[in-house]
Amino acid sequence: MWHSSVPQRFSFTLCHTELFAMCGRYLQLLLSSALLAQLTNAAQILGLFAHPGKSHFDFFRPMLLELAGRGHNVSVYSYFPLKHPVENYTDYVLEGMPLLTDFVDLQAIETDAELLGQAYKVPTFFMLHDWGLRSCQVALNSPLISQLLSSAQRFDVILLEHFSNDCMAAVAHLLQAPMIALSSCAIMPWHYKRMGTPFINTIMPMNFLPYNDEMHFAARLNNFLHFHVINALYNFITQPATDALISQRFGSGLPPINEIVKNTSLMLINQYYALTGPRPYTSNVVEVGGLQVGASQPLPEHLARLFEAATLGVIYISWGSMVNPSSLPQPQLQALYATIAQFPDYTFVLRWNKPAALQNKPKNLYTYEWLPQRDLLCHPRVKAFITHGGLLGSTEAVHCAVPMLVTPFYGDQFLNAAAIVQRRFGLIVGFKNFNEPQLTEALTAILQPSFAAAMKQSTIAFRSRPQPPLDLAVWWIEHVIATRGAVLSQSVARHINWFVYNSIDVYVCCLGFVFLSLLSVWKIIKYIKCNWKQHKNKAKQQ
Ligand SMILES: *[C@@H]1O[C@H](CO)[C@@H](O)[C@H](O)[C@H]1NC(C)=O
Ligand SMILES: *[C@@H]1O[C@H](CO)[C@@H](O)[C@H](O)[C@H]1NC(C)=O
Ligand SMILES: *[C@@H]1O[C@H](CO)[C@@H](O)[C@H](O)[C@H]1NC(C)=O
| 91-124 pLDDT per residue, tens | 999 999 988 787 788 887 777 788 888 999 999 9
Centroid of chain to Cα 371: 25
Contact of 292 with 73, CB cutoff 8 Å: no
Lowest average pLDDT, out of 338-342, 443-447, 531-535, goes to 531-535
DSSP 6-67: S-S---TT--HHHHHHHHHHHHHHHHHHHHHHHHHHS-EEEEE-----HHHHHHHHHHHHHH
Closest ligand to C-alpha of residue 75 is: 2
User: Is any ligand 2 atom within 6 A of the Cβ of residue 395?
Assistant: no
User: Is any ligand 1 atom within 6 A of the Cβ of residue 71?
Assistant: yes
The pLDDT of 46-66, averaged and rounded, is 97
Q: Rounded to an integer, what distance in angstroms lies between the CA atom of residue 245 and that of residue 236?
A: 15
Give burial (CB, 10 Å; 0-12/13-18/19+) of 213: middle
Rounded to two decimals, the pTM is 0.89
**What distance separates the 2 farthest-apart alpha carbons in the chain?**
116
Q: Is 174 left (phi over 0), alpha (psi -120 to 50) or beta?
A: alpha
Residue located nearest, by CA, to atom 6 of ligand 1: 71
User: Is any ligand 1 atom within 6 A of the Cβ of residue 90?
Assistant: no
Look over the chain and give the mean of its residue pLDDT values, rounded to a whole number. 91
Residue located nearest, by CA, to atom 3 of ligand 3: 263
Q: Rounded to an integer, what distance in angstroms lies between the CA atom of residue 206 and that of residue 226?
A: 7
Per-residue pLDDT, 457: 87
Per-residue pLDDT, 2: 38
Given a cut of 80, whether residue 5 has pLDDT beyond it is: no
What are 292-301's pLDDT values in tens digits? Answer: 999 999 999 9
Give every strand in the sheet of 382-387, ordered side by side: 365-368, 346-351, 313-318, 382-387, 404-406, 426-428
Alpha helices in 251-296 (DSSP H): 257-260, 273-276
Given a cut of 80, whether residue 11 has pLDDT beyond it is: no
Residue 42 CA, closest ligand 1 atom number: 5
Confidence of residue 38 (pLDDT cuts 50, 70, 90): low
Residue located nearest, by CA, to atom 9 of ligand 2: 153
Query: Residues near 455 by Cβ (< 8 Å), separated by ≥ 6?
Result: 401, 403, 424, 425
Confidence of residue 23 (pLDDT cuts 50, 70, 90): low
Per-residue pLDDT, 6: 34
Lowest average pLDDT, out of 107-116, 140-149, 276-285, 350-359, goes to 107-116
What are 514-528's pLDDT values in tens digits? Answer: 999 999 999 999 999
Confidence of residue 458 (pLDDT cuts 50, 70, 90): confident
The pLDDT of 312-341, averaged and rounded, is 94
- DSSP character at residue 236: I
Select from 87, 89, 478 the residue to mutate for testing ligand 1; criterion: most ligand atoms less than 8 Å from CB: 87
Alpha helices in 200-354 (DSSP H): 217-233, 239-250, 257-260, 273-276, 301-309, 330-342
Residue located nearest, by CA, to atom 12 of ligand 3: 260
Enclosing H/E stretch for 89: strand 89-93
User: How many angstroms separate the Cα of 353 from the Cα of each of 101, 102, 125, 348, 480?
Assistant: 10, 7, 28, 16, 41
User: Is any ligand 3 atom within 6 A of the Cβ of residue 255?
Assistant: yes
